[in-house]
């Protein structure tokens, strides 16, 4: 499993927020944009998952959650949950030892902008479609990322980002796979069910918010990265 430093990753992402190419990205994506505003210093907007506001001439405001990456791996890093390896809890939470990541938790933003600087490419993904794709396919991606060989993993991999108090657990999803999953998640068919159609099956949850285990990985083998050790510190 790949390990990255949280503070380093966060500092890099924030350092990119003022890059002039962000305005070029948004003017190409939203040709009618009047102006844009950085929301990183606004705690209320940050809690809602908003990094940028895009103002349109109609008065409509589009909210964007931004991520920047300094290497191009051909995938997009999807945050599934945060966990507290030392057994402690953060000062702003009461009991849970794990909480949903930004790709699972419901946020009040419209778009997710994933910029890969060396490729000079930004993927603008509809947030609701992205979350729907992760909720419906996340358990499959986790199973693939846990396979023993690179060929079996098919480009999926686990990535842990240590923080001072907690670790964020991410899964790297090949970009084309994620884009296709979003399209499929937002394509809906209806009509009378076929008499031979199988009964619908509830998807395996990516993150079970009702769990109170001290080890959030307990009895869910497909969630466990190959080198995860409960209680280990990094």
Does 226 reside within a domain? no
Question: What pLDDT, in 10s, does the model give residues 67-87?
Answer: 988 889 999 999 988 877 544
- For the chain, the domain total comes to 1
**Residue where the block lists tokens 């409960």:** 230
Share of the chain above pLDDT 90, in %: 46
pLDDT at 149 over 60: yes
- Give the DSSP per-residue string, 6-41: HHHHHHHHHHTTT-THHHHHHHHHSTT--EEEE-TT
Return the pLDDT at 114.
Answer: 95
In a domain, 231, yes or no: no
21 located within any domain: yes
Taking the CA of residue 52 as centre, how many other CA atoms within 13 Å lie in the half-sphere pointing to its CB? 22
Does residue 202 form part of some domain? Answer: no
Q: 67: domain range?
A: 2-186+214-220
pTM beyond 0.85, yes or no: no
Contact 35, 136 (CB under 8 A): no
Q: Is 225 contained in some domain?
A: no
Is 109 among the domain residues?
Answer: yes
Nearest Cα neighbor of 157 from 165, 91, 28, 149 is: 149
Domain membership flag for residue 205 = no
pLDDT at position 222 over 50:
no
Task: Express each pLDDT in 157-190 by its tens digit.
Answer: 998 888 777 788 899 999 999 999 999 999 988 8
Asked if residue 16 is part of any domain, the answer here is yes
Phi/psi class of residue 135: alpha, beta or left (left: φ > 0; alpha: ψ in -120 to 50)?
alpha
């Amino acid at each position: 499993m790949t390990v990255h430093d949280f503070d380093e990753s966060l500092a890099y992402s924030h350092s990119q927020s003022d890059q002039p190419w962000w305005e070029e990205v948004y003017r190409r994506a939203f040709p009618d944009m009047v102006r844009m505003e950085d929301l990183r210093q606004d705690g209320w907007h940050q809690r809602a998952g908003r990094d940028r506001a895009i103002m349109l001439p109609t008065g409509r405001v589009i909210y964007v959650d931004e991520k920047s990456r300094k290497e191009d791996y051909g995938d997009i890093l999807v945050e599934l949950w945060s966990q507290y390896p030392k057994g402690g809890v953060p000062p702003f939470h009461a009991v849970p030892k794990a909480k949903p990541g930004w790709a699972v938790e419901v946020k009040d933003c419209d778009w997710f902008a994933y910029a890969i600087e060396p490729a000079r490419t930004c993927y603008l993904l509809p947030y609701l479609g992205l979350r729907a794709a992760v909720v419906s396919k996340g358990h499959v991606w986790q199973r693939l990322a846990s396979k023993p060989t690179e060929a079996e993993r098919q480009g999926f991999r686990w990535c842990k980002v240590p923080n001072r108090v907690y670790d964020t657990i991410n899964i790297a999803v090949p970009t084309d796979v994620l884009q296709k999953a979003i399209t499929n998640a937002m394509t809906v068919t209806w009509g009378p069910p076929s008499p031979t159609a199988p009964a619908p099956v509830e998807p395996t949850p990516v993150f079970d918010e009702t769990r109170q285990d001290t080890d959030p990985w307990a009895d869910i083998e497909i969630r466990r990265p190959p080198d995860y050790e409960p209680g280990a510190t990094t």
